[in-house]
Structure 1
Amino acid sequence: MKRLWPPTGVILALGLGFAHPVAAQEPTFQPATDAGLRATYAPVVEKTAPAVVNIYTERTVTRQMRSVFDDPFFRDFFGGVPGGARTRRESSLGSGVIVDQSGIVVTNNHVVENAGAIKVVLADRREYEAEILLTDPQTDLAILSIDAGAPLPALSFADSDTAAVGDIVLAIGNPFGVGQTVTSGIVSALSRTAASVSDYQFFIQTDAAINPGNSGGALVDVDGNLLGVNTAIYSRSGGSNGIGFAIPGNLVRQVVDSAVGGQMTVRRPWLGVEGRSVDSRLAAAVGLDRPIGAILEALYPGGPADLAGLKEGDVVLAIGGQDVLSAEALKYRPGTRRDGERVAVRYLRDGRERETQVRLALPPETPARETTTIGGSSPFTGATVANLSPALAEEIGFPPLTEGVVILETVRGSIASRYRLGRGVIILSVNGEPIERVRDLTAVLKTSAPGYLIQVTNRSGRVSTLRIGR
């Protein structure tokens, strides 16, 4: 069975052209000089490799040991004696890219997640302790800072929107810890959405090899600019099968700008819509000759799309001059731009193509979060809840127009955790009372009842009912 493995490599893809027999009347492609036969990417590697680093992390992992006291009978009989726990240190490695001479390093979030110590090793073997400036689990990116006391080699960003299938690319990283390695290939595909390693599923696909230790490395173009950050492979075995994915440079740059600007979280502009990809059935229904675009199913009142005159049922065909091939583009394309920027949106309505200018904005914090940790004695004790707003939905990776009260986290071992009322659960009702705001939940929990009838859902929309006695 095919599996998408977590990003484990840095990929640099290169390809060499070659001549082949053609009909006499057709033009042939031959090197003009002997130098053409000895084409090399060494100048590109010499320019870019010093800016690619190795990242070593250490984290403490505590695992509960199974014991006889895990059995409720023995636990009660011996007065609740707890089982033991074993603590050990785990180390891992990854790659990163210096994107500013001051020592700003970008890598994958999964490389540094929960790390107690992070060490960055430069290509010339100098070592520095790193500080995390910002983590963005939604894009699987993390921004680090090191202080080398002097300017460092850094890569400039390429405009990833101008990349084309067939472009030669190079990948640089540290696979399997063997040391800095360069691999070559081409851009195999663009706007890939099958790699579900982040909420922004919009990847550059390449055939360059990606292996463990390459995560966070650089995908560069032939001009030596950063086209993307390698993050995942599609593999049956965990090794490279020539299908790798990189986070586009335009999205990486947006996260870097947020970190350098001192933001604790990344806030991205939005259209204020929800939609779904047009399939062949929908394409025929709206008069398209092929499945393309995203049909709008809901608009946020007063949001950017609503103010620009877009309506439910419109099929968005292009944003900012870039074709929309799936619904993921409704989130990705605005997310790489700036707050307040105007962008052209081409759409289909009533069989006729139209265009409008949309002024992008940040998702609003309405209603206010009212973040509250539930105490007392109820099924929700130990859970931290908040009101969902477009801003919070964006932050935790929910559909942008999701409403209600969501559980942000649950204390391990608490009553809420026992009932699996954990992160991402949306509370719909308690004992027949609809829960629209945090205050509704706290009010109903203050009333005395013989038990609890709770309805909850999750980001996929599946509704569950819990019956809990006192």
Structure 2
Amino acid sequence: MKKILSLVLVSALGGVLTLGAYKLFLEKEEKNIVVTATDSIPTFLPTNNINRPLKAYENSDFTTAAENTVNAVVHVKNVSLSPRQMTFEDLFFGRSSQRPQLGTGSGVIITPDGYIITNNHVINNSQELSVTLNNNKTYEAKIIGSDPKTDIALLKIEADEELPVVTFGNSDEAKIGEWVLAVGNPFNLTSTVTAGIISAKARDLSAGVNSQSFIQTDAAVNPGNSGGALVNTNGELIGINTAISSQTGSYIGYSFAVPSNIARKVVEDIMEYGNVQNGVLGIKAGTFNSTVAQEEGLNYTEGVYVSEVIKNSGAEKAGIKKGDIIKKLDNIEVSKFEDLSGYIKTKRPNDVINVEIYRNDKIKTVEVKLSKTDAFSINFIDMELQDLSDSFKEEHGIDYGVMVKNTKNKWLYSNLGISEGYIITGINNVKIETIEDISKLKEKYGEDIKENIKRLEYIDIRKEKKEVIFR
């Protein structure tokens, strides 16, 4: 026991001697500094001397924008009929079995007297359509018109008071990285507001079928948000929420909206003309890149490469040529085809736009008068036909004919296989060289055209010539 106490005392004494030596000989003297508060304001030097606008991240209070929007975003309910499993009685009596199905979405009030913009897929096949406002008042809605290509529809309700509205903003001026709010009714949760930024512009999801030009955001959008508002921090409408990128059906990080400039043009056309007036530039093009530049022997530059100019189009009349690179449309920069197609969708036939082109290492600006779509195609016996391009004729060794661009003629498809890509070369022993020949046949036979077709000559997708005689 005495040995243990001795060891403890020796250890303690050694520690005291070591600490004392450190304090006396090794530790440097430090002075205490007392800081007192003052009224002076520190000076911050900017990195440049330009008066800059307030950035979104510097003003992340979205309450005003949300308050100005939620009351003008409505809940749209669509009752449609959908097929259900056939019963024995249905089979016995030869009747189809259908059941009512409720679909929901959102809409945006754009006029105080009750015009509402939404998505076409929200109101498609509706048997009953109703709209519920943010104050829980419900009204029966009427479809004024719709455009499946842009997925925009226009509704009207008859309210007993002036309604709150969302004003249109300029979607062309929206910037990548800008804060936006998505307002809608996901999962039947009314008046839901989520925030995000613009991730990309002129985003195409169509895989080249019908070129689109969506605004991409990371604001949370889910089923039920379709047709709702995408607004900037000023509460201005810059898009109609339309789609999400998902493998589960719910939001996983990306959502897409129809730009407000396109949506506004569509609803104005529906109001004024009853349908959408589409202007056409008259070119076939693709995004220019270094590979195309190398193939064509050109200096690389961003823009849209003109691979072909359509005959009798505004582009041809303005002097645009194959090989030109389109850089701007009305001072709007164009770096890819979706930029071009998105801007053209905001225009109507006979509108004049300034097109800046790059040719022979020089920049040139020309005025182009947009054409109507029916200047290059025609509807005939439930088929949309268009002229053959010179390059197509040369590539496939075809001298004349009109191509089937689209068809809803089930009889011709099921019996002859005539579908997209087939070429009509003759009808009733009359050579069909252009769509003008189709127009003459329509004038000659009128509504009885189907009954008067006795002979049809065509080229299939394998480029084999065929003919059929109808008896």
Q: Decide: shared fold, TM above 0.5.
A: yes
Q: 1:456 to 1:213 in 2, by over 3 A?
A: farther
SS state at 1:156 partner? coil
| Distance of 1:246 and 1:294 partners within structure 2 | 23
| Distance of 1:197 and 1:128 partners within structure 2 | 39
SS state at 1:116 partner? strand
State the AA in 2 paired with 1:315.
I
Q: 1:246 to 1:368 in 2, by over 3 A?
A: closer
| Distance of 1:295 and 1:115 partners within structure 2 | 42
Q: C-alpha displacement at 1:130, in angstroms?
A: 1.0
Match of 1:378 in 2: none
Say whether residues 1:154 and 2:165 are aligned partners.
yes
Please give the per-residue CA displacement for 1:281-306, whole angstroms capped at 9, x wherever unaligned: 1134454445x322222223332212
Say whether residues 1:301 and 2:311 are aligned partners.
yes
Q: 1:322 aligns with which of 319, 332, 335?
A: 332
| Distance of 1:180 and 1:337 partners within structure 2 | 33
SS state at 1:247 partner? strand
Aligned partners of 1:427 and 1:435 also within 8 Å: no
| Distance of 2:269 and 2:150 partners within structure 1 | 13
Aligned partners of 1:183 and 1:208 also within 8 Å: yes
Q: C-alpha displacement at 1:255, in angstroms?
A: 0.6
State the AA in 2 paired with 1:316.
I
Please give the per-residue CA displacement for 1:99-143, whole angstroms capped at 9, x wherever unaligned: 111211111111111111111111111111111111101101111
Aligned partners of 1:270 and 1:331 also within 8 Å: no
Please give the per-residue CA displacement for 1:297-322, whole angstroms capped at 9, x wherever unaligned: 22233322122211112111111112
Match of 1:345 in 2: 355
Aligned partners of 1:192 and 1:204 also within 8 Å: yes
Match of 1:117 in 2: 128
Say whether residues 1:409 and 2:408 are aligned partners.
yes
| Distance of 1:147 and 1:196 partners within structure 2 | 40
Say whether residues 1:91 and 2:99 are aligned partners.
no
Aligned partners of 1:430 and 1:444 also within 8 Å: no
SS state at 2:71 partner? helix
Match of 2:454 in 1: 446
Q: 1:389 to 1:136 in 2, by over 3 A?
A: farther
Match of 2:41 in 1: none
Say whether residues 1:356 and 2:360 are aligned partners.
no
Aligned partners of 2:404 and 2:419 also within 8 Å: no
Question: Where is the helix percentage greater, Structure 1 or Structure 2?
Answer: 2
Aligned partners of 1:49 and 1:123 also within 8 Å: yes
Q: 1:140 to 1:288 in 2, by over 3 A?
A: farther
Please give the per-residue CA displacement for 1:349-377, whole angstroms capped at 9, x wherever unaligned: 123222222233433456764x44xxxxx
SS state at 2:160 partner? coil
What pairs with 1:449-464 in structure 2 (closer than 5 Å)?
455-456=459-460
Say whether residues 1:313 and 2:323 are aligned partners.
yes
Match of 1:74 in 2: none
Q: 2:143 aligns with which of 132, 156, 163?
A: 132
| Distance of 2:266 and 2:72 partners within structure 1 | 18
SS state at 2:373 partner? coil
Identical pairs, percent: 31
Match of 2:72 in 1: 51
Q: 1:179 aligns with which of 187, 190, 194?
A: 190
| Distance of 2:253 and 2:202 partners within structure 1 | 17
| Higher deviation after alignment, 171-180 or 325-334 | 325-334
Q: C-alpha displacement at 1:442, in angstroms?
A: 5.8
Runs (5+) with no aligned partner, structure 2: 1-43, 49-56, 389-400, 443-448
Aligned partners of 1:140 and 1:198 also within 8 Å: no
Aligned partners of 1:278 and 1:326 also within 8 Å: yes
What pairs with 1:343-422 in structure 2 (closer than 5 Å)?
343-365=353-375, 369=379, 371-372=380-381, 384-385=382-383, 387-388=385-386, 403-404=402-403, 408-410=407-409, 415-416=411-412, 418-419=414-415
State the AA in 2 paired with 1:321.
N
Q: TM-score, normalised by structure 1?
A: 0.73
| Distance of 2:403 and 2:104 partners within structure 1 | 40
| Distance of 1:66 and 1:197 partners within structure 2 | 42
SS state at 2:69 partner? helix
Q: 1:335 aligns with which of 308, 330, 345?
A: 345
Match of 2:225 in 1: 214
Match of 1:228 in 2: 239
Aligned partners of 2:280 and 2:344 also within 8 Å: yes
| Distance of 1:65 and 1:463 partners within structure 2 | 43
Q: 2:424 aligns with which of 418, 428, 446?
A: 428
| Distance of 1:330 and 1:170 partners within structure 2 | 26
Say whether residues 1:42 and 2:70 are aligned partners.
no
Say whether residues 1:241 and 2:237 are aligned partners.
no
Say whether residues 1:267 and 2:288 are aligned partners.
no
Aligned partners of 2:203 and 2:338 also within 8 Å: no
Q: 1:139 to 1:421 in 2, by over 3 A?
A: farther
Q: C-alpha displacement at 1:269, in angstroms?
A: 1.8
Aligned partners of 1:273 and 1:296 also within 8 Å: yes
Q: 1:425 to 1:254 in 2, by over 3 A?
A: same
Q: 1:191 aligns with which of 188, 202, 207?
A: 202
State the AA in 2 paired with 1:137.
P
Aligned partners of 2:377 and 2:384 also within 8 Å: no
| Distance of 2:168 and 2:259 partners within structure 1 | 10
Q: TM-score, normalised by structure 2?
A: 0.72
SS state at 1:250 partner? helix
Task: Compare relative contact order (CA 8 Å, sep 6+) and give the higher one, 1 or 2.
Answer: 1
Q: 1:243 to 1:407 in 2, by over 3 A?
A: closer
Q: 1:243 to 1:25 in 2, by over 3 A?
A: same
Match of 2:268 in 1: 257
What pairs with 1:21-40 in structure 2 (closer than 5 Å)?
40=61
